[in-house]
Amino acid sequence: MPDTGVKRIQAANVRFNPAPDLTIDYPGQWLDPDFKFLPFAHNFYFIWQGRVHFSQPFYVAFMGRPFIRLMGDYGERVVPLLAGLVSVYLTGRLAQILGVRPVWPSVLLAGFATPLIFYSLSFWEHTLAAALGLGALALVLRPAGAPPWPLRVYLVSGLLAGLGGVVRKEIMFFALALGVVLALNAVREAAPYRRRASSGLAA
């Protein structure tokens, strides 16, 4: 598939000399100096300063590089699979916080009835983004009537949501929705906790 193929080519081209270099080597450049015959769809790459750059995020390729070097083709699946397992675990954790009993159907549904099962075995960043977004939510979600968490919890949640948005742009919408819910919650909060809730939203 072109998406995973691009990720694999990205991983093969990660270099440190001395800073991280993510440009793509084009062995045919001496024959094709104007890059007219690059074997990639036009929306996958751009040319900058005479070098080929992929327009897709590089995070999974960057993180997967050591595992590919160590395990070959199987190494591609390490980061997506671990992130998928974390996503399934966090789904169970969210069900627990929400009082859903038993928890295991939520875990099975997340693992086998959503795209997680596909993306956990694909060299893509989707499960990593999902894990970061779910982590942001699991940190700030609290049982009804519980006081707001300490400020540091909201800071870490915001950091995870921000990282998720960097990995996959769609998570920015999720982070925005999470912020709206926290804002509505801060408005409804009991007077002694309203200031803490507002500080948490700001964090």
pLDDT in tens, 171-196: 999 999 999 998 888 888 777 788 88
pLDDT confidence band for 136 (50 / 70 / 90): very high
pLDDT of 32 above 90: yes
Q: Tell me the pLDDT band of 162, cut-offs 50, 70 and 90.
A: very high
Task: Indicate whether 14 pLDDT > 80.
Answer: yes
Identify the band that residue 43 occupies on the pLDDT scale cut at 50, 70 and 90: confident
Percent of the chain with pLDDT over 70: 100
Beta bridge partners of 20: 16
- Neighbour-count burial for 29-66, b at 16+ CB within 10 Å, e otherwise: eeeeeebeebebeeebbeeeeeebebebbbbbbbbbbe
Question: Tens digit of pLDDT for each residue in 51-68?
Answer: 999 988 889 999 999 999
Which pLDDT value is given to residue 94?
94
Q: What are phi and psi of 114, to 5 degrees?
A: -130, 170
Kindly report the average pLDDT of the chain as a whole number.
Answer: 91
Domain ranges within the chain, ordered by starting residue: 2-62, 147-203
Whole-number Å distance between alpha carbons of 61 and 86: 19
